[in-house]
Amino acid sequence: MTPSEIIAADAQQHGIEPARVLSYVSSVLEGKKGTIVTAGNSVLLIVNIGNNNAELHLYTVDSPAELMRIVPMFIDSIRQTPIKAVYGKADNDGIIKLLTRLGVQVEQSDRPEYNWMARV
């Protein structure tokens, strides 16, 4: 699947209008405010929020077992950048549990617009 197909399928699975999500991702990339990393049938959108911090969005149609294999690649990609901390707005705690299981120390966010953070 292409990144656009993955993002659209993920949005649809979560009851979100795919065009809205694709428009957001496109505006981030076109504005050079972020980048994407792909692996398997997953896309990680990394959005620069200043001070070497980033907001993360994971779009996936991979199985939980496949995510266990892919997420460490995403973590390694982030660690190769100057990013110091990552933030997210998890609507379920599955990704937080996955990150914790993979050894990432997930904390309560120090920024009110996010509900979790992890230092890189």
83-103 residue pLDDT tens: 999 999 987 788 889 899 989
Q: What's the chain's length in residues?
A: 120
pLDDT at 26: 98
Residue 60: exposure state from Cβ atoms within 10 A (0-12, 13-18, ≥19): buried
The residue ranges of the chain whose pLDDT is under 50 are: none
The CATH code of the domain at 3-119 is 3.40.630.30
| pTM for this prediction | 0.94
Cβ-proximal residues to 79 (8 Å cutoff; 6+ apart), any chain? 120
pLDDT of the residue at 84: 96
Q: What is the pLDDT of residue 91?
A: 77
Q: Please report which helix (H) or strand (E) contains residue 87, including its range.
A: strand 85-88
Question: So what's the pLDDT on residue 95?
Answer: 84
* H helix or E strand, kind and range, residue 73: helix 64-79
pLDDT of residue 92: 73
HSE-CB for 55 with a 13 A CA cutoff: 15
